[in-house]
Chains A and B, each alone.
Chain A
Amino acid sequence: GEDVEQSLFLSVREGDSSVINCTYTDSSSTYLYWYKQEPGAGLQLLTYIFSNMDMKQDQRLTVLLNKKDKHLSLRIADTQTGDSAIYFCAEIFMEYGNKLVFGAGTILRVKS
């Protein structure tokens, strides 16, 4: 089935690291994505990882992929108040194209 799960809420202090976790279902997914959504806005593509990679780093963002456990995480270093948003992980189902299946989102709250 198509089911992506995320923890619902994370609260961190400014300057700390944030780790947002996600489990996905399709072991054949080729790409896994992280999107950020600020209140009332659309989704911003943050980063993605190809399934043959274990880790990808992009400035303050680090994505870790454990294919055996179908577990994906997003680490944000030196979290800032501007990082407060909802973070969605998504996996691709490529039966007919790039259908993205999203988790319910993790609300990240950064306290100053």
Chain B
Amino acid sequence: NAGVMQNPRHLVRRRGQEARLRCSPMKGHSHVYWYRQLPEEGLKFMVYLQKENIIDESGMPKERFSAEFPKEGPSILRIQQVVRGDSAAYFCASSPQVTGEQYFGPGTRLTVT
């Protein structure tokens, strides 16, 4: 059973461009979480999704950020018009049920130049 997959592992964008981060959960997992880790900080919750539904987006910035988890395919975290402050590691986690442990992917390290 492959673990949580994220791609790309590293992403460089210039200010104003769009960043798309992908997450494929573990097989059989239908719950996906996105977290952001700023340099030398812990992880901060961004959004929790189930297939085709956003359940909790209380940690998402109000503008420029969006997330989806379509019926088919990976979950996508999209950042429009990136700014330098968006530079961080973005981690995806999945769990098989609401009360299950969360298993993390290797992360996408976004650098905005």
Within 8 A of B (CB), among A4-45: 4, 30-31, 33, 35, 41-45
Q: Which of B64-72, B77-85, B98-106 has 4 or more CB atoms under 8 Å from chain A? A: B98-106
The reply to whether A45 and B101 contact each other, CB–CB distance below 8 Å, is yes
Within 8 A of B (CB), among A76-102: 88, 94-102
The reply to whether B33 and A99 contact each other, CB–CB distance below 8 Å, is yes
Q: A35 vs B98: C-alpha distance in the bound complex, in angstroms? A: 19
The reply to whether A88 and B56 contact each other, CB–CB distance below 8 Å, is no
Within 8 A of A (CB), among B41-59: 41-45, 48, 55-56, 58-59
- Decide: A33 near B101, CB < 8 A? Known: A98-B33, A99-B48: yes
- Decide: A98 near B31, CB < 8 A? Known: A43-B43, A104-B42, A105-B42: yes
Binary A-proximity of B13-49 (CB < 8 A = 1, otherwise 0) = 0000000000000000001010100000111110010
Q: A44 vs B3: C-alpha distance in the bound complex, in angstroms? A: 11
**Among A41, A48, A101, which residue has its beta carbon within 8 angstroms of that of B106?**
A41
- Decide: A96 near B56, CB < 8 A? Known: A43-B91, A102-B42: yes
Q: A55 vs B42: C-alpha distance in the bound complex, in angstroms? A: 25
Q: A102 vs B93: C-alpha distance in the bound complex, in angstroms? A: 14
The reply to whether A88 and B104 contact each other, CB–CB distance below 8 Å, is no
A96-B48, A100-B102 known, 18 other contacts, Cβ within 8 Å: A30-B99, A41-B106, A42-B104, A45-B103, A94-B99, A97-B31, A97-B56, A97-B98, A98-B31, A98-B95, A98-B100, A99-B33, A99-B48, A99-B58, A100-B33, A100-B43, A102-B35, A103-B42
4 shortest A-B CB distances, which residue pairs? A96-B56, A102-B42, A43-B104, A42-B106
Could you tell me which A residues sit within 8 Å of B by CB distance? 4, 30-31, 33, 35, 41-45, 48, 88, 94-105
A-B contact pairs, 7 of them (CB 8 A): A33-B101, A88-B42, A96-B56, A96-B58, A98-B31, A99-B33, A105-B41
